[in-house]
Amino acid sequence: MTDPDTLKILLAAIATADSAAKMTTAVENLAQARLAAAVPNLITVLGYNNPGAAVAAVEGLIAIGKPAVKPLLELLDGYNYGARAWALRALAGIGDPQALDLLLDAAKNDFALSVRRAAARGLGTIDWDELPHEQIAPAQARVIEVLVIGSQDHEWVVRYAAITGLQELAISSIVSAPDITQQILAHFDRLVDTDDSLAVIARIWLAQKEIQTAINEILTQQPTLESTIAIDWQSTLAKLYARKRQEQPHPEGDPHKFREVAAAIFRGE
């Protein structure tokens, strides 16, 4: 069966789906086919009021990769903030620098917190090696500026996402631009003392640990390298516990339980 025939059958299943579950299954099948010709159809699904189908469409777009970038940029729905958020998740998963300007603008200016959140996370996944060398440093400086602003957003979920984006940028810069890594870590130290969200502080703690782990792995693989990057994640953890005690003067159960819960919630985010 040719690709056009396959696409026709898969699209027919979407058109005739008469329930949310059947729609999700039909979109999953379309996504798994990885047909570049299906990109516009997968983008259309992002605007449906069906989160399961949207997740499948995002995964399909990410799997298709670069051929999906230009259509995503051109077909971005300016009126449906839900569709914009899903589209930005797809662009983040692909990591193509062509989306950089859109991600920067969305993270800084979009009115919808879900869009700002998706864009902030996406700024941490840019594949910098695809940019000309002379463009990398200026682009990363713009990203840091926007993510620093995002890390002080009035919505905690956006701040949380900005921490994630900054973590990824810090890790990617350990060898090539350690001053960026140190700059981000210094910003994390300031945020720990000022942010009022336990979730955000816990995410900073996790980011510090992930960056330290990345440094250790690099030094193990390249023993001739030396790192002057200092990370005091234990101090962040102590402040996290202190803040927790302030909010719950009489905590219930094991006081060590919070550490396990935090790690379980935020692992891999």
Determine if the pTM surpasses 0.75: yes
Tokens coding 76: 């971005």
pLDDT of 253 above 80: no
Tokens coding 52: 């399961």
pLDDT in tens, 102-125: 999 999 999 999 999 999 999 999
pLDDT at 234: 72
Q: Which of 91-100, 147-156, 247-256 has the lowest mean pLDDT?
A: 247-256
pLDDT at 263: 55
Tokens coding 157: 């979920």
* Residue 53 per-residue DSSP state: H
As a whole number of angstroms, the distance between CA 89 and CA 113 comes to 13
Count the alpha carbons within 13 Å of 222 in the hemisphere toward its beta carbon.
8
Cβ contacts of 17 within 8 Å, gap of 6 or more: 23, 25, 26
Q: Rounded to whole angstroms, what are the CA distances from 28 to 24, 114, 203?
A: 6, 23, 31
Residue 151 contacts residue 166 (beta carbons within 8 Å)? yes
**Crossing angle between the packed helical segments 113-122 and 100-109, to the nearest 10 degrees:** 140
